[in-house]
Structure 1
Amino acid sequence: MLWPMPMTVPTALGDISVRCEGPPDGPALLLLHANPGDGRDYDAVLPALADRHRVFVVDWPGYGDSTASDPRQVTPEGLVTAAEQVVDALDTEGPIAVLGNSVGGYVACRLAEGRHAARISGLVLVDPAGFTAQNALTRWFCREVMGREAVARHLVVPLARAYLGGLRTPSARATYTRARGLLYDKRRLAVHCAVWRGFADPEFGLWNPGGIGVPVLLLWGRRDPVVPAFLDGRRALRALPAHTVHVLLPTAHEPYNERPDLFLRHTLAFLKR
């Protein structure tokens, strides 16, 4: 029996849209996207992932087909709770692998440590958030620059162009077009800024994710301007379990958009194992 597409999961932050692709009896794979963006950001790699996996693609609150009850109250911790509710709603009882980019990577780690830890079979972390040093400068940037709508609206577009690696692929250009749309959508911009403010919360961070007992693939773009590989990437490698497989890619923040072929080579091999 095919799963209805998309599915809507009610949460405190809004109604979360989840679409499903792939064979009904395939191993489950949950995709969590970055901020801003939506599940379509993975479209370049989704056909290959869905060839053997039952892929569940999430839109965070306020993005894609999901709603946001109060856009200014969306936080990274709220996304963790929302993702837990999505896992509760999935019509699969088997193990679930989770692939997350940026704040999606942060949520993936938290899922592997939380009440669903026994259901998580593996993590693919793509330039994950949560490993940036918390200091006065980073908190100011998250709160007063990217966290303020009047300021952030001038930075969203140039930052997206930088972290998408020069817009060399059709998928990167499509993601960039959606990012540009924030300038004309006050609710999406409010969500974007609220998540950034959440990065400044003293409780935010992945400094000792010792509860992760599943296989981990850590993919990091060596040219990432948002969470640099030589800073955040090194901290992540020190903090994550010793069994983590680490691969540096010649990309920026979203390698699945910039180099989908290279991204799939490593990701599919890892998921197969």
Structure 2
Amino acid sequence: MFSREQIQLRTPDQVRHMRRAGLVVAKVHAALREAVAPGVTTAELDVVAAEVIAQSGARSNFLGYYGYPATVCVSVNEEVVHAIPGKRRLRAGDLVTFDCGAYVVDEEGTQWHGDAAFTTVVGGTYQDPLDELVDTTTYEALWSAVAAVAVAVQSGASGRGGRLNVVGDAVEAVVERAAEHHGHRLGILREYVGHGIGTQMHMSPDVLNYSVSRRGPRLRPGMVLAIEPMLTAGPPRVRELDDGWTVVTCDGSRAAQWEHTVAILPGGVWVLTAPDGGAQGLEPFGLAPVVLS
């Protein structure tokens, strides 16, 4: 975990700058979806990400971060998070997570960051029903959490309903429903969580993906959060490899991660790293994003 301090609130203009960064990240994701295929190395996909960021006039916030040597984390199968791109050549059926970010610089020289992740299956066909379950459940958990934040903001609820812990509650509820429906309980990673984001990639508060007794800080307009549930097909026990970055499941089971940068605005949320602002993801919940012009 990284040390974080007071939660910073963003002005509408600052959120617009973060939207610029978020759209760069969305472009990177689109390029990676196009490029991922059997036979491609993870290092080649890192080049794709770097080129899109450079062409967009932005900069990578992963490259050099605490010494991280690449532009994107490319985590394959049992690799949960932070896997360094290299010579590994992808195969059909591999479950791959891409996690990357970018920042733009405003007229005053201030950095504004975006961060998002998605999981995909190489070749388009899942090898095992558990691969599909962990991927689709993580995706559902992300959007359920984003919707829970939007509802809490819209209602202006006091107490538990208007606090940050709605994220962890939503993720756990999705995992519980999946267990009841499919007869298999997925693991929720606890060592790695979401975070605040703004002038730095990792800021206060920590955004937990599991329920806790404390309610957490109140959700307030101007907060910007990176919401990122990470689920494992087996028990959520992980270990870090000798490279100092790559985190893998202890039992070799596969994992998935989905993430978006989400701005809290009066009356709802704006998903800054989604091209449509979150419209498609929120629509099943009867919600729509709040968009600044």
TM-score strictly above 0.5: no
Which protein shows a greater Rg? 2
Q: With a CA cutoff of 8 Å and minimum separation of 6, indicate the structure with the bigger relative contact order.
A: 2
Structure with more strand by fraction: 2
Superposition TM-score, scaled by structure 2 size: 0.28
More helix by share: 1
